[in-house]
Amino acid sequence: MAIARALAMSPKVLLCDEITSALDPELVGEVLKVLEQLAAEGMTLILVTHEMNFAREVGDRVVFMHQGKVWEQGDSKTLFANPQTTELKQFISSVRGLN
């Protein structure tokens, strides 16, 4: 519902903080499809998310934060394929389906 209210204002940029938290898996998939469509239509999305597969596939740029600090940032495909910091390497190895 919050997404619908935000989109009703026709924003150029949509900022979402853990938009899929507390949703059941079916709803998570639906929300991610909507966000993917918005990105495909050219909307700028700034997302805070733990949905790493989504970030890798849909994101143009990713900023990896750990303990409130930026550890890495860059092109999403490159960042996930070639992490530079131990922190991101450990995080990727802990997320099922990312490595």
Q: How many domains does the chain have?
A: 2
Calpha distance 4→90 (Å, rounded): 36
My answer on whether 46 and 66 are in the same domain is: no
pLDDT of residue 63: 96
What pLDDT sits at residue 96?
64
Range of the domain at 17: 1-50
Specify whether the CB–CB gap between 55 and 18 falls below 8 A.
Answer: no
pLDDT average, residue stretch 17-27:
88
Among candidate residues 50, 73, 90, the one where a domain is terminated: 50
- What type of residue is 52? M
Q: Is the pTM of this model over 0.85?
A: no
**Domain end point (choices 50, 71, 86):** 50
Q: What is the pLDDT of residues 61-74, one digit of tens each?
A: 999 999 999 999 99
Nearest to residue 77, comparing CAs of 58, 49, 96? 58
Q: Which helix (H) or strand (E) holds 8?
A: helix 2-8
Note whether residue 55 is domain-resident.
no
Judge if 68 and 39 occupy the same domain. Answer: no
Tens digits of residue pLDDT in 3-18 = 888 889 989 999 999 9
Residue 88 parent element (H or E): helix 86-94
